[in-house]
């Protein structure tokens, strides 16, 4: 009988503390890798890569081959859900995503026609990657959380202040509730489809949750996240869910208690010592190295790594960044990070 190979990342998500924390990096498949840049130059724009299942699978696998990460994160984009809900999506060179029509009225929302076929290339990518990963490497899918996705659908692009979405939430909470509900329901179907195709855990990215007041955070972040987690538990009860509410700060404890996520991702602004004290005992955490410390490298990087490892020494911990890896990150510094976390350098804490 063939014995299954342990997957440390999945074991950690299920509450098992590892002697050496598993590691993966948000945006680990991307522009800092020369092999990614070469493939993008060959294939064209970002969205073309996402919709080419063979290319997206190759990109997903690139950091696994180069670094031996414990987790592979699906190469895709959080704005696939707006496409599935009927918005047009394109990327302006040097400026980022654009969506149309913008959802700022009931008439526009009701006029959107669902296009679930937009998600099929993603499922194709998952099926390809699932058959090619090393036995010990966990496969993570993802989606954007409803609030963050809604900010793009309302503004038609990304924005630092999310002012359009916040205004709409105050001025027309019924419209915002309907939009959030549609996003949440589509997200459940989308993540369930990824799971059926072969991912083993999923992450919800709420990149703009930090812009909300406590009351709005409860309404537009915690409640819809809990809705998604509950629905996924019914459809895929054994699949762990990581919640990543970037910028949540002091609201993290409520998020952890009320959403039902299996693990919580921490951004770089969170003090890991505080987080270990404030979050529920035994809850797995993920993070939270500053991406700029990774760019800096050297002694500063080692010190930042050691502080995080020490803070989470007594709970299940997945080492990761506090946000996505930046494109000017030296590959040698990623190698330094992996060696430090895995204890391959003299003097690293055990």
Give me the pLDDT at residue 161, please.
86
Packed helices 173-197 and 223-235: angle between N→C axes, nearest 10 degrees: 30
Which CA distances in Å does 114 have to 23, 51, 66, 227?
A: 37, 18, 39, 21
Q: Is residue 91 part of a domain?
A: yes
The better pLDDT of the pair 96, 321 is held by: 321
User: Taking the complete model, does pTM exceed 0.75, yes or no?
Assistant: yes
pLDDT digits (tens, 9 = 90+) for 215-252: 999 999 999 999 999 999 999 999 999 999 999 999 99
Which two three-digit tokens encode residue 336?
């330094």
- Which two structure tokens, joined as six digits, stand for 308? 């995080």
Give the model confidence (pLDDT) of 22-71 as tens digits.
999 999 999 999 999 999 999 888 999 999 999 999 999 999 999 999 99
What is the pLDDT, as a whole number, of residue 3?
59
Q: Which of 50, 102, 38 is nearest to 76 (CA)?
A: 50
Identify the band that residue 95 occupies on the pLDDT scale cut at 50, 70 and 90: confident
Q: Is residue 349 part of a domain?
A: no
Is the residue at 350 inside a domain?
no
How many independent structural domains does the chain possess? 1
Query: Domain of 54?
Result: 8-341
CATH of residue 247 = 3.20.20.210
- Enzyme catalytic residues: 27, 31, 40, 77, 152
Q: What is the mean pLDDT of residues 258-282?
A: 97
- Each residue's pLDDT tens digit, 154-173: 999 998 789 999 999 999 99
């Amino acid at each position: 009988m063939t014995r299954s190979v342990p997957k440390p990342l999945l074991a950690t998500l299920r509450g098992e503390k590892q002697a050496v924390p598993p590691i993966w990096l948000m945006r680990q498949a991307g522009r800092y890798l020369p092999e990614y840049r070469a493939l993008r130059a060959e294939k064209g724009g970002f969205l073309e890569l996402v919709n080419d299942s063979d290319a997206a699978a190759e990109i997903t696998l690139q950091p696994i081959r180069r670094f031996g990460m414990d987790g592979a994160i699906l190469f895709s984009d959080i704005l696939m859900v707006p496409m599935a809900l009927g918005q047009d999506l394109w990327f302006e060179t040097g400026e980022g995503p654009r969506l149309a029509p913008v959802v700022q009225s009931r008439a526009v929302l009701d006029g959107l026609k669902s296009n679930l076929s937009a998600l099929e290339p993603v499922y194709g990518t998952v099926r390809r990657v699932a058959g090619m990963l090393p036995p010990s490497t966990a496969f993570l899918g993802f989606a954007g959380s409803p609030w963050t996705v809604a900010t793009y659908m309302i503004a038609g692009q990304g924005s630092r202040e999310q002012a359009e979405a916040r205004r709409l939430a105050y001025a027309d909470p019924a419209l915002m509730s309907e939009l959030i509900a549609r996003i949440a329901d589509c997200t459940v179907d989308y993540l369930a489809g990824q799971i059926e195709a072969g991912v083993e855990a999923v992450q919800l990215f709420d990149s703009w949750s930090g812009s909300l007041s406590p009351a709005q955070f409860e309404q537009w972040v915690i409640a819809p996240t809990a809705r998604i987690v509950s629905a996924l538990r019914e459809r895929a009860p054994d699949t762990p869910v990581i919640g990543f509410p970037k910028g949540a700060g002091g609201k993290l404890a409520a998020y952890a208690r009320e959403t039902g996520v299996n693990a919580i991702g921490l951004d770089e602004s969170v003090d890991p010592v505080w987080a270990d004290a404030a979050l529920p005992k035994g809850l797995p955490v993920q993070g939270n190295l500053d991406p700029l410390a990774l760019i800096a490298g050297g002694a500063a990087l080692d010190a930042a790594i050691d502080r995080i490892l020490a803070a989470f020494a007594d709970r299940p911990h997945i080492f990761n960044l506090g946000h996505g890896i930046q494109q000017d990150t030296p590959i040698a510094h990623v190698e330094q990070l992996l060696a430090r976390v895995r204890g391959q350098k003299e003097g690293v804490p055990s």
